[in-house]
A and B are shown apart, each in its own frame.
Chain A
Amino acid sequence: MKNIVILGSGTAGTIMANKLRKSLPAKTWNITLVDRERNHYYQPGFLFIPFGSYSESDVVKPKAGFLPSGVNVIYTDIDKIEPQQNHVLLAKNKSLGYDFLIIATGAQLKPDETPGLKDKLYYKNIFDFYTLAGSLALFELFKTWKGGKLVMAITELPFKCPVAPIEFVCLAEAFFEKKGMREKIDITFVTPLSGAFTKPVCSDVLTEVLEKKGIKIVTDFYIERIDNDTKTLISYDGKEVPFDVLVIVPVNKGDDMIERSGLGDDLNFVPVNKHTLQHEVYYNIFAVGDAAAIPTSKAGSVAHFAADVLFENIMSAINGKPLEAKFDGHSNCYIETGYGKATLVDFNYDTEPLPGTYPLAGIGPFKLLSITRINHWGKLMFRWIYWYILLKARPLPVSNHMSMAGKKQVVN
């Protein structure tokens, strides 16, 4: 009997378990998943909770409903991986041997890394929407908030879903406009980047979107600490941004388990080959999803596209063949811009987001880099697709490789 162990049953781990169980005979291959949580969280849904469009039950479901039969699931903490021994240590000194290991433990939030974040204003004036607790706390606040300075800030790169903070300020603007109190809210977007987004064409489009909505942008702001007494964000070079309500994306890191295993970079993400997703030293270890240190977005769509490639490569590795499937860094995000509209970006390691149509050239129905109602439906539909198609690894009519068909070149 051979063993595949998957660490983490979030988006990537769940998809991998479904794919592998369909293809590997249960007589010869054990598949074991380990996760500390019994519930699966639809993290993209956290964005909508502060504005009352989603509630807790839309975004939380028991993991068991999404896992195939014939997979062992262990709900416990992973202590560390001992790659030289080919085993994983779990809580209570249990150990789990493997022939192949898939690391899918995602990215975690580390508010403690920023001085003053988890202090006396935490969940009173300082919030996040990257956790269910944080987004629920914001929902409560926004019900009665009388207005003031609303600051959305990013502490460190990379972080999951790099467009979510932009969506947050757009949705907040529309929310307070609808409540008839827009003029009482001063919205500022604070980023360590030099623009709203990393990729140039997309950054220009999004910067314009924010400016049109009267949202201020503060760029190149790298947060050193938060002063709780004066309610101010302070950067390493001494710049200051005052706030009444601060919504922050805390530092994102790979799980501490990665550090204990000595397998991470300085943010505990696991360096793997960006095309094959295989570890450079331990050939039977792979990383997928947010846990992997590869130069593309940390996003559910990336996890989904990468899982297709990883599946092929694991099957090759099992059969002693070279790893021929290559991940191109394909990422695809709907970006909510408020008022029932959204835009869409589609890019990879080599090609930045460009205008055009998706997934069908010239037809769409979705429009890249333009703001339409149908893109918004795409985003809302994504929740249903996520729960019922994506996690279960049922086929979707989109390619895991980015395609240039339907895209228009832009000359800078």
Chain B
Amino acid sequence: MAEKLLSGVTVKVNAEGYFEDLNQWTKEMAVEMAKEFNIELTEKHFEVIDYLRQKQKTGEQLSIRKVGNSGITDIKGLYTLFPGGPLKISSKLAGIPKPVSCV
């Protein structure tokens, strides 16, 4: 297990940099991590992040399609918000594990 310093707090992360404990997460940390991806977080980004955190807590499996059907944004919108890997990046910023949509 690795550690990462975010907003002055040491958080536990896995080898790929995903949070081990979603309760350690704060909004400030998300803003800081987003900079690594050159993303400036907006209200819309946080709506997606809140949605992901909620679904994670209820134990639902997440997929790009599911977020695209959430009513917050569609799949294209999700790619615009989090270019490159919408679900991978948004999950990282949301402090939840990397989703495994398929095993």
> A: which residues have CB within 8 A of B?
156-159, 162, 192-194, 198-199, 220, 222, 224, 236-237, 265-267, 293, 295-297, 329, 331, 347, 412
Contact = CB atoms under 8 A, between A and B. Distances in A.
B69 A266 contact: yes
- Chain A at the B interface: mostly helix, strand, loop or mixed? loop
A236 B103 contact: no
Interface string B84-103: 11001000000000001111
A158 B75 contact: no
Nearest to A251: B65
B65 A295 contact: no
B17 interface: no
15 contacts: A158-B101, A158-B102, A192-B64, A194-B88, A220-B85, A236-B79, A237-B84, A265-B61, A266-B63, A266-B65, A267-B65, A293-B61, A295-B61, A295-B103, A347-B103
A198 B83 contact: no
Nearest to A293: B61
Nearest to B64: A222
Given A236-B79, A237-B79, A194 B102 contact: no
A94 B65 CA distance: 35
6 smallest CB-CB distances across A and B, nearest first, come from A157-B102, A157-B101, A158-B102, A237-B79, A236-B79, A198-B103
Contacts of A224: 75-76
A293 B63 CA distance: 13
A156 B65 contact: yes
B100 A198 contact: yes
Contacts of B101: 157-158
Interface of B: 15, 60-61, 63-66, 69, 75-76, 79, 83-85, 88, 100-103
Instruction: Please report whether the interface of chain B is mostly helix, strand, loop or mixed according to DSSP.
Output: loop
A371 to B, nearest CB: 22
Contact of B100 (A220, A267, A295): A295
Contacts of A198: 100, 102-103
B81 to A, nearest CB: 11
Contact of A199 (B69, B85, B103): B103
Nearest to A296: B103
A143 B69 CA distance: 42
Nearest to A297: B103
Contacts of A347: 103
A276 B100 CA distance: 21
Contacts of A222: 64, 75
A162 B85 contact: no
B90 to A, nearest CB: 14
B61 A162 contact: no
Given A157-B101, A193-B102, 7 more contacts: A157-B63, A158-B102, A192-B64, A220-B84, A222-B75, A296-B103, A331-B103
Nearest to A274: B59
Contact of A236 (B63, B75, B100, B102): B75
Contacts of B88: 194
Nearest to B69: A266
Nearest to B88: A194
B64 to A, nearest CB: 6
Contacts of A265: 60-61
Nearest to A219: B85
Contacts of A162: 102-103
Q: Which of A157, A193, A265, A267 has the most CB of B within 10 A?
A: A157
Residue of A192, A194, A347 ringed by the most chain B CB atoms within 10 A: A192
A293 B88 CA distance: 21
Contacts of A267: 65
A236 B76 contact: yes
A292 to B, nearest CB: 12
A194 B88 CA distance: 10
Given A224-B75, A293-B61, A266 B102 contact: no
Contacts of A158: 101-103
Contacts of A296: 103
A402 to B, nearest CB: 13
B83 A159 contact: no
Instruction: Determine which residue in B63, B75, B76 has the highest number of CB atoms from chain A within 10 A of its CB, and name it.
Output: B63
A154 B61 CA distance: 19
B1 to A, nearest CB: 12
Contacts of B61: 265, 293, 295
A220 B87 CA distance: 11
Nearest to A412: B15
Most buried by A among B64, B79, B85, B102: B102
Contacts of B103: 158, 162, 198-199, 295-297, 329, 331, 347
